[in-house]
């Protein structure tokens, strides 16, 4: 029987690669709905090729061609995520827009292939509790969490998660190099081709910080039992240590097609878009080193926010995102992203167990405060 899938964020980096996977898998999937932001040309191409029953866009719905059921905005996403005929939803959008539709899908007992980071960073406690109550599986798409998911047989026997990080473009550069980095340098990731926001977060290792928080929620692991190791070749996608000391790692060439395919096909496996075979002999060497916490300060802040819990990770995420946007608009320097995020983080009161509405209120407040700080800094610099 065909597996019925809907994709939220079909025109983004993960969404387009997911459609490549699904195309390769032939008749294994039926696409029920595709949701995109404002890239109407791209969604029209996808409609012509994949014939979804429903399409959702954020605006310009009158320009959508070839689909009879065109939905709009948040209410459209809610409708897609309430459709009980779906077997799995791929949450491939970036940003907080993924959170509410994910909750709706979980309440409707639809399994989730999760690529959206904010869902767990902003509301991991709520989302994982709901998933458990509703018997819903959340299968991670991110290569590190997907690797851990593939290694785990029985989580109660696991003593440690070891998350690998490529180290990004500044791994062997000095702090001064990072301070003077251009946007292009920050976007030149040596291993992975991703969206702009996540690529900047990978350059500062904030992305790894967010992944620590996601791993804590996904696998119910204490922060002290989650390690980060730098592995520049991105061949070992992550590993776990069992209580008897055995370490199991998942290895493969760096390609997002593989974790996407794993997540949407789970628990089955198909050849699909199989990457070329990995050769240990060709790889010749795999390097590992400790992260430089002095240079990549986001790692420590992410552990701190994670351990604090409650709204702390909401604050961390929102302040960083606004600062990254400011960097991408040339308003601040790369290293300022951390400084601004840290300033905002320590200026806020942290609510212990916020509701979803409170999470969105805090997120909004943090974004306003972050932009005020960025603007004040710019004003000072231009005097």
Closer by beta carbon to Mg ion, 76 or else 168: 168
Q: Which of residues 147-166 bind Mg ion (CB under 5 A)?
A: none
Percent helix, strand and coil across the chain, each rounded to 5?
Answer: 50, 15, 30
We find the least distance from the C-beta atom of residue 259 to Mg ion, in angstroms, to be: 9
Closer by beta carbon to Mg ion, 180 or else 275: 275
We find the least distance from the C-beta atom of residue 104 to Mg ion, in angstroms, to be: 25
We find the least distance from the C-beta atom of residue 227 to Mg ion, in angstroms, to be: 15
Q: Are strands 236-242 and 158-165 parallel, antiparallel or unpaired?
A: antiparallel
Calpha distance 20→49 (Å, rounded): 11
Q: Are strands 247-251 and 236-242 parallel, antiparallel or unpaired?
A: antiparallel
Contact between 55 and 64 under an 8 Å Cβ cutoff? The reply is yes
Q: Which residue is nearest to Mg ion (CB)?
A: 142
Calpha distance 280→298 (Å, rounded): 33
We find the least distance from the C-beta atom of residue 21 to Mg ion, in angstroms, to be: 17
We find the least distance from the C-beta atom of residue 223 to Mg ion, in angstroms, to be: 18
Residue 325 contacts by C-beta under 8 Å, 6 or more apart in sequence? 197
Closer by beta carbon to Mg ion, 140 or else 272: 140
Closer by beta carbon to Mg ion, 210 or else 334: 210
Q: What angle do CA 239, 242, 247 make, to 5 degrees?
A: 40
Site string for Mg ion, 170-209 (x = CB under 5 A): ----------------------------------------
We find the least distance from the C-beta atom of residue 147 to Mg ion, in angstroms, to be: 9
We find the least distance from the C-beta atom of residue 371 to Mg ion, in angstroms, to be: 27
**Number of chain residues interacting with Mg ion (CB under 5 A):** 3
Closer by beta carbon to Mg ion, 110 or else 165: 165
Closer by beta carbon to Mg ion, 144 or else 322: 144
Closer by beta carbon to Mg ion, 79 or else 144: 144
Calpha distance 366→362 (Å, rounded): 6
- Alpha carbon of 187 to those of 13, 51, 197, 297: distances in Å? 15, 34, 9, 19
Computed from CA positions of residues 324, 328, 329, 330, in that sequence, does the dihedral angle turn out positive or negative? positive
Calpha distance 222→163 (Å, rounded): 14
We find the least distance from the C-beta atom of residue 211 to Mg ion, in angstroms, to be: 6
Site string for Mg ion, 120-149 (x = CB under 5 A): ----------------------xxx-----
Closer by beta carbon to Mg ion, 40 or else 221: 221
Of the candidates 197, 205, 227, 223, the residue with the CA atom closest to the CA atom of residue 329: 197
Q: What are phi and psi of 31, to 5 degrees?
A: -85, 115
Residues forming contacts to Mg ion in the complex (CB under 5 A) are 142-144
């Amino acid at each position: 029987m065909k597996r019925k899938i809907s994709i939220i964020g079909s025109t983004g980096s993960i969404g387009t690669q997911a459609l490549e996977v699904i195309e390769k898998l032939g008749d294994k999937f039926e696409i029920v709905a595709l949701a995109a932001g404002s890239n109407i040309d791209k969604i029209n191409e996808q409609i012509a090729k994949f014939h979804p029953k429903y399409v959702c866009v954020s605006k310009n719905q009158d320009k959508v061609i070839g689909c009879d059921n065109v939905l709009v905005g948040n209410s459209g996403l809610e409708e897609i995520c309430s459709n009980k005929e779906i077997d799995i939803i791929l949450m491939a959008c970036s940003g907080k827009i993924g959170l509410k539709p994910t909750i709706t899908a979980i309440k409707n007992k639809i399994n989730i292939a999760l690529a959206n980071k904010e869902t767990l960073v902003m509301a991991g406690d709520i989302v994982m509790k709901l998933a458990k109550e509703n018997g819903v599986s959340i299968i991670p798409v991110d290569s590190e969490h997907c690797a851990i998911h593939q290694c785990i047989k029985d989580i109660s026997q696991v003593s440690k998660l070891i998350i690998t990080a490529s180290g990004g473009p500044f791994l062997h550069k000095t702090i001064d190099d990072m301070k003077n980095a251009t946007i292009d340098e920050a976007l030149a990731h040596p291993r992975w081709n991703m969206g702009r926001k996540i690529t900047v977060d990978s350059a500062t290792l904030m992305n790894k910080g967010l992944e620590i928080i996601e791993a804590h929620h996904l696998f119910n692991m204490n922060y002290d039992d989650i390690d980060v190791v730098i592995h520049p070749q991105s061949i070992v996608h992550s590993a776990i240590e069992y209580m008897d000391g055995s370490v199991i790692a998942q290895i493969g060439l760096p390609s997002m097609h593989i974790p996407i395919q794993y997540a949407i096909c789970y628990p089955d496996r198909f050849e699909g878009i199989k990457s070329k075979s990995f050769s240990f002999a060709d790889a010749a060497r795999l390097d590992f080193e400790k992260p430089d916490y002095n240079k990549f300060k986001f790692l420590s802040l992410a552990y701190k926010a994670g351990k604090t819990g409650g709204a702390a990770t909401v604050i961390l995420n929102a302040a960083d995102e606004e600062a990254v946007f400011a960097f991408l608009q040339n308003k601040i320097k790369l290293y300022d992203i951390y400084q601004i995020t840290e300033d905002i983080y320590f200026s806020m009161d942290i609510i212990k167990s916020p509701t979803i509405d409170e999470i969105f209120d805090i997120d909004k407040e943090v974004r306003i405060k972050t932009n005020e700080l960025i603007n004040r800094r710019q004003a000072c610099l231009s005097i």
